[in-house]
Structures are given as C-alpha cells and as structure tokens.
Amino acid sequence: MATSMKSKQMITGKAFEYALLFQFDEKLKNKTNVKIVKNSAFNIAQDCFNQVSETEKSEYLLSASFAVNFLVDTEPRLVNDIDKNDILELEILKDTEGRNGDVRDVLAIRALQKWEIGVSAKNNHNAVKHSRLSGDIDFGNKWLGVNVSKNYFDKVKPIFKNLQKIREVSNAQKKWKDLGEYHDFIYMPILNAFMGELKKIHKTNSLKASRNLVSYLVGNKDFYKVIKRKNVVEIYAYNLYGTLNLPFRDIEPKYKTPIISLPTKILSINFKKDSKTTLIVKLNNDWVLSFRIHNASSRVEPSLKFDVNLLSSPKSLFKNTLNIIHKK
C-alpha cells in the first residue's frame, strides 16, 4: 500500500524540522561557531527530508529561510557570542520529549550563556499536543500533577476493559464501525468522566490545574511556533515564562515579543454544540482549548486519543505572517 496519510504527515513534518535546522546552520555558520548535534532524531529528520520531492525540498528550505531570518532579528544571541568557545549547538529533539510537555522540535543552545530557544515546526496545521486516555493512564498526574480519583477509574476502566476483550475475541480484527453507535456508549461516558474529574481537580486547586493544563498541552518551555502554509509562514512567540526575546549585552531584539499570561482558572467545560466527541474548555486570560476524542486506528483498541486544538489565546500573543516571495 502507498504511504499512509499519517506517515506522509510524519515525513513532511520531520522534513520541515530538518529544513529549519539546515537553514539555521547555513545562515549562522559564517557568523558564529555552530555545531549540529547528529543524534537519532537528526538522522530521522534528514532521512525524511531526503524522501520528499525536489519541489517540496525547495519549498521547505525557502519557508525555513524566511523563518530563520526573522528569528535572527528577534533573538540576538543566535548570532552574538561571548568568544570562540561560545558554541551555538543546533539539535532536533526526540519525540519522547513531547510526552513530557516539551513541544519544541528544533533547539538552538548556547551552554556558555546558559541560554536556549526552541522552535515547534508545523507543516500546514496548528494542532497542539495529542494525548491518550486508557484504563490505566492517570491524566491528572501526567497533565496536572494531581492524581485522578478512584471514582474516575471506576467509570472508565470497565469501558476500556470491554474494548480490550473485543480486541482479544476478534483477534484484533474488529473495527470500530462494526460496534454501532459507539460514540454514545464509549466516547460520551469517557468524556463525561474526564470532564467531571477535571472539574473536581480544578475545584480543589484552580491555579495549579489551569496553569498546568495549558503548560502541558501548549508547552512547558517557551518556544516559537513556525507554521509553513502555502506561500506563507506564520510565526508565533509563546513567551510564557520570559525566556524568549532576550538582549545580548546592549544589543536589543529588532522586534518585541511580550510575555503572555497563563490562565489562573477554568471558566467552563462543556460539550461542543451538537457534538458527541468534543469538549470545549474555556479558561481566563483568553485561553480556549478543544478536546476531540477519536480512535487512532480503524480497528478496536483499548485506548483513545485526544486531538487538542488551541481555539483562542491571549491577545498579547505575538504573531507575524511572512509572505513567501518566490524568485523567478
């Protein structure tokens, strides 16, 4: 069978990560000491870049070039070093970091300055973190730093156990579509249990629950999100903790990216209108997240995925749109 949509998306995403790292190196290596960390993530990204067409390679490199030029203007420490020992390391992070709340893909690090910036590279989409639910995943502990209750597991475990049984009996061949109206008896009870538990945790510690929810899903480290679209590159500065946009001695950034406020409380959690699959979580300081639950495979398995999207963010979030000019 031809490359699946999922693996195609993975290949194009990794290829764009490689293009960004390549352009960082190209534009900075004659201005400062640059070292590329050639880890397993680098090898995967390079291999994905080599798999895409020549046209795609050109598009990715051009988009990455525009993005890096802009980032050099917002981050003076990319170019400016203390001395020859102040090496700029470029690294592609392994996907396992994302599971720990670090959503950055490409890092630029100066150990001597105790400084780093990260870029989250997206090829034509704006989703945030994807997370799983199952009968033994404690989302409260993992996302919020607060354990879920026995009551939550009492509600979801029987549903996931039943899915496991269906999978075993059918020798992993049973498909979701063969279950009938599974949104009603699988998705909705799980979403209701999730919603109830999130409200319960929030009630006991609203500040911790709301801040950690956004930190885990949006990112627990400051980062630039670079989204490649057709003839356009969008750059967002998620300056949540004040580590982006720093001067180098008396050299100031050409653009200012303000610190944006994390939420301090959840205002509401409700099902999206006319939906059995999606919850809308509204928080203060203009944060709104959507959680769409779905099955990652066509065949029944005892876990489900959340596709999480950021519907709204603080008005102070820095955004710049670069129009790609193609040379003739």
Same domain (yes/no): 24, 93: yes
Same domain (yes/no): 231, 120: yes
Q: How far apart are CA 165 and CA 123, in angstroms?
A: 38
pLDDT digits (tens, 9 = 90+) for 14-40: 999 999 999 999 999 999 999 999 999
pLDDT of residue 159: 98
Residue 152 lies in a domain: yes
Q: Quote the domain boundaries for residue 154.
A: 128-214+263-312
pLDDT digits (tens, 9 = 90+) for 113-150: 999 999 999 887 666 777 899 999 999 999 999 999 99
Residue 328 lies in a domain: no
Residue 240 lies in a domain: yes
**Tokens of residue 285, six digits:** 């300081």
Same domain (yes/no): 12, 106: yes
CA 156 from centroid of its chain's CA atoms? 26
Q: How far apart are CA 280 and CA 272, in angstroms?
A: 6
**Tokens of residue 119, six digits:** 């870029």
Residue 194 lies in a domain: yes
Q: How many domains does the chain have?
A: 2
The percentage of the chain sitting over the pLDDT mark of 90, rounded to a whole number, equals 87
Residue 265 has φ and ψ, to the nearest 5°, of -160, 155
Same domain (yes/no): 274, 236: no
Same domain (yes/no): 182, 148: yes
Same domain (yes/no): 181, 243: no
Same domain (yes/no): 172, 226: no
Strand pairing class (106-110; 318-323) = unpaired
Same domain (yes/no): 191, 84: no
**Tokens of residue 50, six digits:** 């080599």
Q: How far apart are CA 204 and CA 67, in angstroms?
A: 43
The pTM score is: 0.88
Same domain (yes/no): 48, 169: no
Same domain (yes/no): 113, 134: no
Same domain (yes/no): 57, 197: no
Q: How far apart are CA 297 and CA 179, in angstroms?
A: 14
The percentage of the chain sitting over the pLDDT mark of 70, rounded to a whole number, equals 95
SS3 31: coil
**Tokens of residue 271, six digits:** 């099902």
The stretches of 170-263 forming alpha helices (DSSP H) are 182, 188-204, 206-218
Residue 137 lies in a domain: yes
Same domain (yes/no): 39, 94: yes
Measured N-to-C along each axis, helices 188-204 and 206-218 cross at an angle, to the nearest 10 degrees, of 130
Residue 88 lies in a domain: yes
Write out residues in the chain with pLDDT < 70, as ranges.
Answer: 1-6, 97-100, 125-127, 326-328
Instruction: Centre a 10 Å sphere on the Cβ of residue 128 and count the other Cβ atoms it contains.
Output: 20
Instruction: Centre a 10 Å sphere on the Cβ of residue 95 and count the other Cβ atoms it contains.
Output: 12
pLDDT of residue 126: 67
Residue 274 lies in a domain: yes
CB proximity list for 158: less than 8 A, separation 6 or greater: none
Strand pairing class (88-92; 106-110) = antiparallel
